[in-house]
Chain A
Amino acid sequence: DADVTQTPRNRITKTGKRIMLECSQTKGHDRMYWYRQDPGLGLQLIYYSFDVKDINKGEISDGYSVSRQAQAKFSLSLESAIPNQTALYFCATSDPGKQTQYFGPGTRLLVL
């Protein structure tokens, strides 16, 4: 969905490196989310933000941090990447009144 974009789409990095994944949306939604997906598993919530001044930890926030720079932008950082953070990462947005989520195309991250 072009309304939610993620950069980069693919990334290879080395253990110990700091990397940032970016998400932008043009849907005008206040709520934004970061998930990771591992093969054969569902999505696990890393962090979520209900507005620019609100940041909340999800199920698996250890090793990750986020920044909500504006309503439209929500970045996920891996402070010191490790191989078990190799996964597919998704950003999503939602309108509080509708409760459905709109997902970006994903970022495939490989940590060597």
Chain B
Amino acid sequence: SQQGEEDPQALSIQEGENATMNCSYKTSINNLQWYRQNSGRGLVHLILIRSNEREKHSGRLRVTLDTSKKSSSLLITASRAADTASYFCASAAGANSKLTFGKGITLSVRP
């Protein structure tokens, strides 16, 4: 069974707009990660936020973590057509920090 659930399942925005994607998880975690997947290709790691962190930035990406609500959000600012992809959250839990992936969000950025 999958621990992460992303919301929305699909998002379509205009180039230049911001994209916000949400993720919920069920158990205590060590960290939460976001990955990106271009159609039919391997996942690429975007950003990791540890359980004792609340916000982290990397370029146009901003991720927040609320452990009390067991949720995280990924914000992509000033989106570009090249940001079109599927985005997955993955929660790392347990002594070995194995990842449990959500079902993913399909982001479409219209030029």
B103 contacts A90, CB within 8 Å? no
A41 contacts partner chain B, Cβ-Cβ < 8 Å? yes
Q: Is the CB of B42 within 8 A of A41?
A: no
Chain A contact residues, majority secondary structure: strand
- How many residues belonging to A are interface residues under a CB distance threshold of 8 Å? 25
Q: Which of A10-50 contact B (CB under 8 A)?
A: 35, 40-45, 48, 50
| Contact in complex: A1, B98 (CB < 8 Å) | no
Given B42, B92, B96, B102, which contacts A42 in the complex, CB threshold below 8 Å?
A: B102
Interface size class of B (residues with CB under 8 A): 20 to 34
Residues of B with C-beta under 8 A to A43? 43, 88, 101
**CB < 8 Å: which of A35, A42, A59, A106 contacts B41?**
A106
Q: Which residues of A are in contact with B by a Cβ distance under 8 Å?
A: 1, 4, 35, 40-45, 48, 50, 58-59, 88, 90, 92, 99-106, 108
- 16 contacting pairs across A/B (C-beta < 8 A): A41-B2, A42-B2, A42-B101, A42-B104, A43-B43, A44-B101, A58-B98, A59-B1, A90-B43, A92-B43, A99-B30, A99-B92, A103-B44, A104-B42, A106-B41, A106-B42
